[in-house]
Structure 1
Amino acid sequence: MTAPTCDLVLLGRDHDDVDSLADQAQLAEEYGFSHVTMGETTGHNIVPVLTVIAERTDEIGITDDVISPYSRAPTVLGQTALTMDDVTDGRFRLGLGTSSPAIAERWHGQSFDRPLRRLRETIDVVRQVCTGDSVDYDGEIYDLGGMAFEGRVPDEPPAVDVAALGPKTVELAGRFADGWVPQLFTTEGLEERMEDLRRGAELGDRDPAELRVSPLVRCCAAEDGDTARSIARGMIAFLIGAYGPFYGDSIAEQGYEEEVEEIRAAWEDRDTAAMAAALPDELLDAVAATGTPEEVRDKVEDFAAVDGVDAVRVGFVSGMSQEQKELTMDAVTDS
């Protein structure tokens, strides 16, 4: 069977320097991944990192998972998209997402107010900047005008993807963005939320088939499947119970309310071991691809088979060795 189309998500915390991240991106290109991406929270500023990756790769697509509009002005995000389009020779997609109250307020010093409106207006402003014309925007959050990007503007502007979980934000992605990046969904939950994306596309008079849907699935393969699950369990539990409210809320809405409550209760005591222990195998296997290489590939294929999915973003988990990462990369590609 042909391997599904996959993107590779780099885990910044696993790398001591930018050279190491670039080496992993080069390896992803050798394996045949469609895109390489990485997130930004309180680690690396990912724009210069992705610039280095662009200079050291030739064909692989490059994107980010994701930049928060609370971290930069929307005009700066437009400048970033155009500059990255230049340095990647058109290989760049801009990823946006509201992130979480903790990151917005405790790291960026911004009030986490009206996140959907801010995201919508950010997309609008980025689109205007990418035309090369004078920006003229009178929004509820941003009031801008009278200046334009001073540089080359491509015939095809960089695509804008939105990371989103809830129905309203996913509808927004369908209506205004070029792609949707979901995370921590079961295949059934993904299928259900896809209806919100299609509704948004219809409201925007757009073809849903033209939106790039690339769910991020945390993956870990090991010859001993139990070892892989043990490695993945802690990070998945942390994302559900501690990483802002949104992942946990989404998981609860997908039928795991009691499990989320137990994981969150353990986090209140900062007991990460109890958090991991509270994550049942059923939930772990529903939202992540862990186990033997064959089990990981089968699960990734399950996500790829969901109607409307264009690629699966293969995300590593904390604690994996380089050997386990390459075994996982082998499992989901034809290498």
Structure 2
Amino acid sequence: MPENTNRGLVLSMNAYDDIDAAVDTAQLAEKLGYGFVTMGETNGRNVPLVLGLLAERTTDIGIADDVLSPFSRTPTTLGQTAATLQELSGGRFRLRLGASSPALVERWHGVDFDRPLRHVREAIEIVRQVQSGDRLDYDGEIFSPNTLKLESPPPKPPAPVDVASLGPKATEMAGRFADGWVPQLLTIDALEERLTDLRRGAELGDRSADQLLVTPHLRAGAIEDSSRARRYARQHVAFMIARYGPYYRKAIADAGWMDVTEAVRTAWDDGDRDVALASIPDELLDDLVAAGTPNEAREQLERFEAVDGVDAVQVSFFGPMDEAERRETMRALAPRE
């Protein structure tokens, strides 16, 4: 991925009926000047295959996954994936790793969600060994690949390895071992606090935090109908608090919003979605997402970009948005000279 990543775009793969439509959106992002494009993987399309297609159908834009887990693929497979996508893209790829969530790991992949930080740390180190082209010689607590080596030419340079995390220990680990950090749904104060953990990790790893690429993931809706955009935002935040694993709810609660997270979760569990959405105050909404008119959303996005230590913000969309609204948001938040 180019050093000057500018703003990035997260493709909502589940929003597209076919892969060509997603590729077309990535090509538009490239034309609009976005520095990189990325996409997540849950239980939908196999993301590395789509990234290979993006590498072939784009020219300059950086490419990344968002994110892959050592619970769903072995670290050596992740290393092969990084090497191959780095080759296909001509050096434009970044590998993003994360532990995922207990629900997805156990209910979709059917494996125990055990010692997630250790899984991610060992995966980082093994991915680097694979990309080096040397014979594997790794004696970890979880993984111990050895003897064999990558048979294809090792990528030069190797794809960087970033970590997606929210908590202090996981973020410290990213600072100590990874090449970058990708947080999501942190308030600005919490983001600044976690950056302190990232810098401490970098010091423990005897490296400079300036070497790490920090790219927060920011959900956004920049459309003329501000009230519609903010309802989309409330639906997203409420769902993340009530249903999408424990980590986001805890991160928001720890940022001083425990009463809100409890109210949202209780109302959602009771089946009263309107009350759940209404429980989210504007102050919290503006501290987590960018939602409103194009001018309002740009101002909110720029607050995250202004945080000391942030290198680029990657923009994604709210689930209920249609393609016209997604493209309106893309154009409104596109990088400017």
TM-score under structure 2 normalisation? 0.96
Residues 215-234 of structure 1 correspond to what in structure 2 (within 5 A)?
215-234=216-235
- Runs of 4+ in structure 1 deviating by more than 6 angstroms, as ranges, are none
Q: What's the counterpart of residue 47 of structure 1?
A: 48
Q: d(CA) in 2 for partners of 1:155 and 1:228?
A: 43
Name the aligned partner's letter for residue 23 of structure 2. Answer: A
Q: What's the counterpart of residue 175 of structure 1?
A: 176
- Further displaced range: 279-288 or 53-62: 279-288
- Further displaced range: 318-327 or 29-38: 318-327
CA contact (8 A) 1:238 1:275 kept: no
Q: Please, what is the CA RMSD of the aligned residues?
A: 1.3
Give per-residue Cα distances to partners, 1:289-317, cap 9 Å, x unaligned. Answer: 00010111111111001001000010111
Name the aligned partner's letter for residue 192 of structure 1. Answer: E
Q: What's the counterpart of residue 205 of structure 1?
A: 206
Name the aligned partner's letter for residue 170 of structure 1. Answer: T
Q: What's the counterpart of residue 245 of structure 1?
A: 246
Deviation at residue 329 of structure 1 after TM alignment: 1.6
Q: What's the counterpart of residue 151 of structure 2?
A: 150
Q: What's the counterpart of residue 111 of structure 1?
A: 112
Q: d(CA) in 2 for partners of 1:99 and 1:124?
A: 18
- 1:268 aligned to 2:263? no
Q: What's the counterpart of residue 92 of structure 2?
A: 91
- Percent identity between matched residues is 54
Aligned residue pairs total 332
Q: d(CA) in 1 for partners of 2:63 and 2:222?
A: 24
Deviation at residue 326 of structure 1 after TM alignment: 2.2
Name the aligned partner's letter for residue 297 of structure 1. Answer: R
Q: d(CA) in 1 for partners of 2:335 and 2:193?
A: 30
Deviation at residue 225 of structure 1 after TM alignment: 1.2
Q: d(CA) in 2 for partners of 1:108 and 1:208?
A: 34
Give per-residue Cα distances to partners, 1:4-62, cap 9 Å, x unaligned. Answer: 92100011121011111101100110111010001001111101111111111100000
Aligned partner of residue 136 in structure 1, secondary structure: coil
Residues 1-335 of structure 1 correspond to what in structure 2 (within 5 A)?
5-334=6-335
TM-score under structure 1 normalisation? 0.96
Give per-residue Cα distances to partners, 1:164-198, cap 9 Å, x unaligned. Answer: 00000000000000000001111111111100000
Q: d(CA) in 2 for partners of 1:102 and 1:334?
A: 36
CA contact (8 A) 1:259 1:279 kept: yes
Q: d(CA) in 2 for partners of 1:299 and 1:334?
A: 14
Q: d(CA) in 1 for partners of 2:302 and 2:54?
A: 28
Q: d(CA) in 1 for partners of 2:153 and 2:271?
A: 50
Specify whether residues 69 and 273 from structure 1 end up closer, same or farther in structure 2 by C-alpha distance, changes over 3 A only: farther
CA contact (8 A) 1:234 1:276 kept: yes
CA contact (8 A) 1:234 1:273 kept: no
Q: d(CA) in 2 for partners of 1:35 and 1:272?
A: 35
Give per-residue Cα distances to partners, 1:178-227, cap 9 Å, x unaligned. Answer: 00000111111111110000000010011101100000010001112111
CA contact (8 A) 2:34 2:335 kept: no
- Further displaced range: 279-288 or 108-117: 279-288
Q: d(CA) in 2 for partners of 1:6 and 1:276?
A: 29
Q: For structure 2, which runs of at least 5 residues remain unmatched after alignment?
A: none
- Further displaced range: 217-226 or 321-330: 321-330
CA contact (8 A) 1:218 1:316 kept: yes
Specify whether residues 45 and 273 from structure 1 end up closer, same or farther in structure 2 by C-alpha distance, changes over 3 A only: farther
